């Protein structure tokens, strides 16, 4: 079955997760802790982020969760902040995070578009932040569709965002590949009836992704070669 469209996760897929989100984690917990490093370290542990090493635990809610889920985990430990205020602080820090592309994205996406593929983004980040991140590296106009957890289609691992993309570009899900770095991405792809491509620019190793991936690639830059071999 040929592939006519690709829908990408954002963090850990289009952008290298560790290189992009380590600085965000530090800024976010320090903002929530009013600059108190000891308190920030405590908040970091709650969401699986080690402040000292600026690294995430494999099961961190930040890796594949929505900002609402991150805020829900933090809220019991921040009694002076409402959950909507925590979400706002996290979204502000996220929107300002400097994005580190996993590969040179503009030429990569140009190659896919020149092959006639329709392209989308499905992320558990907020839609506004996602569009800002794509625009910050000059690729927002390369996509036919961008959905965040708050776009009205649900969020991964549910298939809603992916099925909305399929409807938007009028391509049968069986002819679309979902590309992601986490089990949430691949579970969503399977639930939507799509081909699933795992990449290793996030936090999950190949052996974790393989059970739900039709193929696991080092990064998205290997997709054109894989498509040509199909």
What does the angle CA 4 – CA 10 – CA 11 come to, to the nearest 5 degrees? Answer: 145
Q: Does the pLDDT value for residue 11 go beyond 90? A: yes
Reported as a single tens digit per residue, the pLDDT across 30-79 is: 999 999 999 999 999 999 999 999 999 989 999 888 999 999 999 999 99
Whole-angstrom distance, CA of residue 40 vs CA of residue 177: 39
The pLDDT of residue 1 is 82
Instruction: Decide if pLDDT at 175 tops 90.
Output: yes
Give mean pLDDT, residues 11-32: 93
Q: What percentage of residues in the chain have a pLDDT greater than 70? A: 100
Domains of the chain (ranges; CATH) run 5-16+101-229 (3.40.50.1000), 18-95 (no CATH)
Mean pLDDT of 74-89: 95
Q: Is the pLDDT of residue 4 over 90?
A: yes
Residue 210's H or E segment, with its range, is none
Cα 121 to Cα 69, 73, 89, 104, 140, distances in angstroms: 20, 26, 23, 17, 10
Cα separation of 211 and 132, whole Å? 33
Can you say whether residue 122 is alpha, beta or left, with left for phi > 0 and alpha for psi between -120 and 50 degrees?
beta
Please check the confidence at residue 85 and state whether its pLDDT lies above 90.
yes
| Beta bridge partners of residue 15, listed in sequence order | 11, 101
The more confident residue out of 63 and 121 is 121
Residue 217: C-alpha distances to residues 33, 35, 119, 180 (Å): 39, 40, 18, 10
185 pLDDT higher than 90: yes
Instruction: Check residue 170 and give its pLDDT.
Output: 98
Residue 80 in tokens: 């002076």
Q: Rounded to the nearest 10 degrees, how much is the dihedral formed by the CA atoms of 25, 26, 32, 37? A: 150
Tokens representing 15 are 């952008």
pLDDT of 211 = 98
What phi and psi values does residue 156 have, to the nearest 5 degrees? Answer: -65, 140
Q: What is the pLDDT of residue 57?
A: 92
- Higher-pLDDT residue of 230 and 217 is 217
Residue 92 has a pLDDT of: 87
**pLDDT given for residue 230 in this prediction:** 81
Task: Say what the pLDDT of residue 195 is.
Answer: 98
Distance CA 196, CA 147 (A): 18
Contacts of 135 (CB under 8 A, 6+ apart): none
Residue 23 has pLDDT above 90, yes or no: no
Q: What is the mean pLDDT of the chain?
A: 95
State residue 64's pLDDT score: 84
pLDDT for position 63 = 87
229: how many CB neighbours lie within 10 A of its CB? 7
């Amino acid at each position: 079955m040929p592939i006519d469209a690709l829908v990408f996760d954002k963090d850990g897929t289009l952008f290298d997760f560790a290189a992009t989100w380590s600085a965000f984690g530090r800024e976010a917990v320090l903002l929530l802790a009013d600059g108190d490093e000891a308190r920030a370290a405590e908040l970091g542990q709650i969401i699986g982020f080690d402040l000292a090493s600026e690294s995430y635990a494999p099961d961190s809610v930040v890796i594949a969760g929505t900002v609402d889920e991150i805020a829900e985990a933090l809220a019991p430990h921040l009694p002076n902040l409402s959950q909507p205020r925590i979400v706002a602080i996290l979204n502000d820090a996220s929107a300002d995070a400097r994005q580190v592309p996993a590969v040179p994205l503009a030429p990569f996406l140009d190659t896919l578009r020149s092959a006639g593929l329709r392209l989308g983004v499905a992320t558990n980040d907020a839609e506004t932040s996602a569009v800002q991140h794509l625009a910050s590296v000059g690729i927002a106009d390369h996509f036919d569709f961008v959905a965040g957890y708050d776009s009205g289609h649900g969020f991964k691992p549910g298939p809603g965002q992916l099925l909305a993309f399929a409807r938007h570009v009028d391509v049968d899900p069986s002819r679309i590949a979902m590309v992601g770095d986490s089990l949430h991405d691949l579970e969503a792809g399977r639930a939507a009836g799509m081909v699933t491509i795992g990449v290793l620019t996030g936090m999950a190793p190949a052996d974790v992704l393989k059970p739900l991936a039709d193929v696991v690639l080092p990064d998205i830059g290997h997709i054109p070669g894989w498509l040509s071999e199909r």
